[in-house]
Amino acid sequence: MKTKNIMIVGVGGQGSLLASKLLGRMLLQKGFDIKVSEVHGMSQRGGSVVTYVRFGDKVYSPVIDKGEADFIVSFELLEAARWTEYLKPGGKIVVNTQQISPMPVITGAAEYPQGLAGQMQAAGLDVDAVDALALAQQAGSSKAVNIVLMGHLSRYFDFAEEEWLQAIEQCVPAKFLEMNKTAFRLGRNI
Amino acid sequence: MKTLMLGNEAVARGLYEAGCSFVSSYPGTPSTEITECVALYKEVYAEWAPNEKVAMEAAFGASLAGKRSFCAMKHVGLNVAADPLFTVGYTGVNAGFVIGVADDPGMHSSQNEQDSRHYARAAKIPMLEPSDSAEALAFTKLAYQLSEQFDTPVFIKMCTRVAHSQSVVEPGDRVEVSKPYEKNPQKYIMMPGNAKRRHPIVEERTEKLTVWAETAGINRIEDGTDHSIGIITSSTSYQYVKEVCGDRYPVLKLGMIWPLPKQKIVDFAASVDKLIVVEELDSFIEDHCRQLGIDCVGKALFSCIDEFSQNLVAEKLGVATQSGTKLDAAIPMRPPVMCAGCPHRGLFYTLAKNKVTALGDIGCYTLGAVAPLAALDTTICMGASISGMHGFTKAGGGEGRKVVAVIGDSTFMHSGVTGLINMAYNESCGTVIIVDNSITGMTGHQQNPTTGFNLKGDPCTKIDLETLCRAVGINRVRVVDPYDLAACDAAIKEETAVDEPSVIISRRPCALLKYVKHKKPIIANSDKCIGCKACMKIGCPAISVIDKKAHIDNTLCTGCGVCAQLCKLDALTAAKED
């Protein structure tokens, strides 16, 4: 199988490491070769962060380059717009419609562009816009945005819901398990 | 059973399996997780040392005592440890001694882009360079074998993309290694008479290692179908080359980066029409090829600046790539910021307000340099704030200016205290501000000698900063709470006015620490807000002004109250706690 590429992008602190951990666990169970590249250190502090997940028969590079991503899963609207160049022609963007202003916008040095989801669609990109924050809150925690989005992404994979839920069990502490399972189902089924 | 591991976690696994039983390190991105992960194995003693020099000397001592040992650091940390490094290269080891060093091409989290491979050649210490997690595990074990076989410390060299990428590994079992210690002054006392006898042994060792490198399995040729080009590469560059070229061109993949083989490279070069060297940062392999009289293309094609990627390699090799769609919209940058509730914010606001010249240091608080705070004048290396300020004021830089050094608690213990001793001893003036957030923050919350806990999380001796500063001869030492802007302002004004060295400890634990209890979010009273943006001067990500009214993001705000102190109109007020 040719290598598949998933980019998880967002703002430092939004929980992208748990999302990539879940994907990694799931894909390992399926017997794929995998590489997951993470960001640690300074850029984690509220900056733009990106995690690369690649899987296939044999994966070489740990990163995804422009024009290569089959999926971009974005935890924040502006971040999806930032990385569109990395999407493969025909790839899919799954984006949380939540907006988090970066510091240049907060200080008034720049403006948060309006209507980004529409702009992406108008540019011919295949975009699923999801209010993951509302669904996460419905599941019981605004922190579950990451699992809601993984639930949505899971629609495009040929794996049974039960297998995903088992992978979640291996990745989250017991006391948050039911909440995360609810969040996953909401993302997958709504 | 196959499992996914970060490169750093795989090094830790390799340490465990190789029977390493002593680890001493100082945290530094991208090396930190090696030590954090190895600390989880109860068979391994692991500690945070105050700095890399101490860590390396401690690891040498453990090797001398007969236990396989290890220390880890980032590339710039190796500069700190360079003093012992060059001499343990002469003494060699008793039990195996491995040094982990992690470079940061692209400077994701570093102040420079130095290439650590030069240290291997300069200190004459062999260096292995894995290209994924499976190699990180295997090479770490191999490093111990080489260390004992050739009587030398051995480097494991990581880079950000290998250290912080997960890939598949197959863990194995641990072996136990223990050797007796025997006194051997000729080998271990490096005074001139002995060192003169050791140097030729070191040169012979390099010759033997070069012979080993000629046939070593980790320097492997992967043949290709098209011999018009041959590529020599290593580390993550190897992965990009294979991603782009597959099995088209022959590749010499180097696992040992120093000493490099000679005949193997000569033969490989002869088997191809054109030789290309693909290596990140400096021309290390390329220079070696040229020394061998081999014509090759390296830095003329692949820059010494920044990290590579598959598209970059493809472009340079003339392979077509595709790009996605770029939006027309102007996308604002999202640089890293100080977190909401960060205790450093109130202090930096006060420094900026007082137009203080502030020599900075290495840590989260480097973000105090960013607008709107913009409160720092320099960032060089660990400890440079204090010694730099000493020189600055001695040279008259303090005339008509308030001058301070800003340094974190962990950085102060690392190499700030020697600068403070210099200030006391040479009767400097200027104020050292220790921003004590009770943790090593930037690298992800590591304990340090001032926190009262060790790497394993157990309670331990806590170094008292006030006592330490007074003991080295500083008479003026005071503590302020950086959430209290009036107290900060008074302390900075008073201490920078006196004609003797002083220390202000700005103390409040990092807002991200689990035990730190946040207050309720600040309440924005929009009826009182006139949109003056006084609260925006602190650059807090939880505050924004929407339609000329201050707005608080309740998911981010920790209720620290710094913004409320800036609002003269009570438009921002603390919520009643339950």
A147 token code pair:
């699992």
- Report the C-alpha gap between B438 and B435 in whole angstroms: 9
Q: Which of B288, B96, B282, B90 is nearest to B205 (CA)?
A: B90
Last residue of a domain, one of B212, B234, B266: B212
Are the beta carbons of A42 and B310 separated by less than 8 Å?
no
- Report the C-alpha gap between B563 and B503 in whole angstroms: 26
Amino acid at B285: I
Are the beta carbons of A66 and B321 separated by less than 8 Å?
yes
Residue B41, CB-side half-sphere exposure with 13 Å CA sphere: 25
Residues B379 and B399 both lie in one domain: yes
Per-residue pLDDT averaged across A99-114, rounded?
90
- Report the C-alpha gap between B73 and B28 in whole angstroms: 6
Question: From the list B164, B242, B333, which residue is nearest A60 (CB)?
Answer: B242
Residues B184 and B45 both lie in one domain: yes
Per the domain annotation, does B325 fall within a domain?
A: no
Question: Where does residue B431 rank: exposed (0-12), middle (13-18), buried (19+ CB within 10 A)?
Answer: buried
Are the beta carbons of A113 and B168 separated by less than 8 Å?
no
Residues B114 and B224 both lie in one domain: no
User: Bridge-partner residues for B128, per DSSP?
Assistant: B156, B256
Residues B362 and B435 both lie in one domain: yes
Check residue A39 and give its pLDDT: 79
Placement of tokens 């948050």 in the chain: A176
Peptide bond into B372 cis (omega under 30): yes
Are the beta carbons of A103 and B539 separated by less than 8 Å?
yes
Three-state SS string across B148-185, please? HHHCCCEEEEEEHHHHCEEEEECCCCCCCCCCCCCCCH
Give the tens place of pLDDT for each residue, B67-126: 999 999 999 999 999 999 999 999 999 999 999 999 999 999 999 999 999 999 999 999
Check residue B34 and give its pLDDT: 98
Give the start-end residues of each E strand in B35-87. Answer: 45-48, 69-74
Are the beta carbons of B331 and A113 separated by less than 8 Å?
yes
Spell out which residues of chain A touch residue B331, defining contact as CB-CB under 8 Å. 78, 81-82, 113
Spell out which residues of chain A touch residue B334, defining contact as CB-CB under 8 Å. 11, 46-48, 78-79, 82, 102-103
Per the domain annotation, does B335 fall within a domain?
A: no
Check residue A44 and give its pLDDT: 62
Are the beta carbons of B167 and A38 separated by less than 8 Å?
no
DSSP readout, A10-38? EETTS-HHHHHHHHHHHHHHTT-EEEEE-
Provide the shortest C-alpha distance from residue B574 to chain A (in Å).
21
Give the start-end residues of each E strand in B80-207. Answer: 97-103, 127-128, 154-159, 165-169
Per-residue pLDDT averaged across B153-178, rounded?
98
Residues B33 and B170 both lie in one domain: yes
Q: Are B122 and B86 in contact (CB under 8 A)?
A: yes
B380 Cβ contact list (under 8 Å, min separation 6) = B111, B388
Last residue of a domain, one of B507, B538, B563: B507
Spell out which residues of chain A touch residue B243, defining contact as CB-CB under 8 Å. 60-61
- Report the C-alpha gap between B13 and B133 in whole angstroms: 10
- Mean pLDDT across chain A, nearest whole number? 94
Print burial letters for B56-70: b (CB count within 10 Å at least 16), e (below 16): bbbbbebbbbbbbbb
Kindly indicate the confidence band of residue B578, based on its pLDDT and cuts at 50, 70 and 90: confident
Provide the shortest C-alpha distance from residue B325 to chain A (in Å).
5
Check residue B467 and give its pLDDT: 98
Per-residue pLDDT averaged across B278-290, rounded?
98
Are the beta carbons of A102 and B339 separated by less than 8 Å?
no
Check residue A41 and give its pLDDT: 63
Check residue A108 and give its pLDDT: 84
Looking at the structure of chain B, the number of domains it has is 4
Per the domain annotation, does B428 fall within a domain?
A: yes
Print burial letters for A48-65: b (CB count within 10 Å at least 16), e (below 16): bbbbbbbbbeebbbbbbb
Spell out which residues of chain A touch residue B557, defining contact as CB-CB under 8 Å. none
B199 SS3 class: helix
Q: Is the pLDDT of residue B248 over 80?
A: yes
Give the tens place of pLDDT for each residue, A134-180: 999 999 999 999 999 999 999 999 999 999 999 999 999 999 999 99
Chain mean position to CA B75: 7
Phi and psi at B41, nearest 5°, equal -90, 120
CA angle B206, B184, B192 (to 5 degrees): 65
Are the beta carbons of A84 and B327 separated by less than 8 Å?
yes
Candidates A21, A60, A75: best to mutate against B (most CBs of B within 10 A) is A60
Domain that holds residue B464: 344-507
Question: From the list B331, B334, B536, which residue is nearest A47 (CB)?
Answer: B334
Spell out which residues of chain A touch residue B108, defining contact as CB-CB under 8 Å. 39, 41-43
Placement of tokens 């962060």 in the chain: A49
Q: Are B366 and B343 in contact (CB under 8 A)?
A: no
DSSP readout, B355-388? T-EEE--SSGGGGGGSTTT---SB--STTHHHHH
Spatial strand order of the sheet with B3-6 comes to A126-130, A87-96, A69-74, A4-11, A48-56, A33-37, B165-169, B3-6
Residue of chain B with shortest Cα separation from A100:
B541
Give the tens place of pLDDT for each residue, B129-159: 999 999 999 999 999 999 999 999 999 999 9
Provide the shortest C-alpha distance from residue A85 to chain B (in Å).
4
Are the beta carbons of B334 and A111 separated by less than 8 Å?
no
Q: Which helix (H) or strand (E) holds A73?
A: strand A69-74
Q: Count contacts between A and B (CB, < 8 Å).
A: 193
Q: Are strands A33-37 and A48-56 parallel, antiparallel or unpaired?
A: antiparallel
Spell out which residues of chain A touch residue B364, defining contact as CB-CB under 8 Å. 45
- Report the C-alpha gap between B30 and B33 in whole angstroms: 8
Are the beta carbons of B108 and A119 separated by less than 8 Å?
no
Question: From the list A46, A84, A125, which residue is nearest B541 (CB)?
Answer: A46
Q: Is the pLDDT of residue B265 over 90?
A: yes
- Count CB-CB contacts under 10 A for residue B196: 10
Per-residue pLDDT averaged across B514-540, rounded?
95
Give the tens place of pLDDT for each residue, B374-387: 999 999 999 999 99
Last residue of a domain, one of B212, B232, B265: B212
B89 Cβ contact list (under 8 Å, min separation 6) = B123, B124, B125, B152, B153, B202
Per the domain annotation, does B268 fall within a domain?
A: yes
Q: Complex ipTM, two decimals?
A: 0.95
Residues B353 and B460 both lie in one domain: yes
Per the domain annotation, does B482 fall within a domain?
A: yes
Give the tens place of pLDDT for each residue, B180-211: 999 999 999 999 999 999 999 999 999 999 99
- Report the C-alpha gap between A182 and A179 in whole angstroms: 5
Q: Are strands B476-480 and A33-37 parallel, antiparallel or unpaired?
A: unpaired
Spell out which residues of chain A touch residue B333, defining contact as CB-CB under 8 Å. 48, 102, 104, 110
Spell out which residues of chain B touch residue A57, defining contact as CB-CB under 8 Å. none
Per-residue pLDDT averaged across B468-474, rounded?
98
- Report the C-alpha gap between B453 and B98 in whole angstroms: 26
CATH number of residue B394's parent domain? 3.40.50.970
- Report the C-alpha gap between B155 and B157 in whole angstroms: 6
Q: Is the pLDDT of residue B555 over 90?
A: no
Provide the shortest C-alpha distance from residue A152 to chain B (in Å).
23
Residues B191 and B225 both lie in one domain: no
Give the tens place of pLDDT for each residue, A13-55: 888 889 999 999 999 999 999 999 987 766 567 889 999 999 9
B157 Cβ contact list (under 8 Å, min separation 6) = B101, B102, B103, B116, B117, B120, B127, B128, B129, B235, B257
First to last CA, chain A: 30
CATH number of residue B538's parent domain? 3.30.70.20
Residues B18 and B63 both lie in one domain: yes
Per the domain annotation, does B411 fall within a domain?
A: yes
Residues B267 and B133 both lie in one domain: no
A52 token code pair:
């690369």
Q: Are strands B45-48 and B403-408 parallel, antiparallel or unpaired?
A: unpaired
Q: Are B477 and B507 in contact (CB under 8 A)?
A: no
CATH number of residue B227's parent domain? 3.40.50.920
Per the domain annotation, does B513 fall within a domain?
A: no
Provide the shortest C-alpha distance from residue B336 to chain A (in Å).
4
Check residue B493 and give its pLDDT: 98
Check residue B203 and give its pLDDT: 98
Helix axes B192-215, B82-91, angle to 10 degrees: 80
Residue A43 gets which letter from DSSP?
A: G
Spell out which residues of chain A touch residue B368, defining contact as CB-CB under 8 Å. none
Question: From the list B324, B330, B443, which residue is nearest A88 (CB)?
Answer: B324
Are the beta carbons of A39 and B164 separated by less than 8 Å?
yes
Residues B18 and B162 both lie in one domain: yes
Per the domain annotation, does B533 fall within a domain?
A: yes
Residues B458 and B561 both lie in one domain: no
Residues B155 and B238 both lie in one domain: no
Check residue A46 and give its pLDDT: 82
Give the tens place of pLDDT for each residue, B297-331: 999 999 999 999 999 999 999 999 999 999 999 99
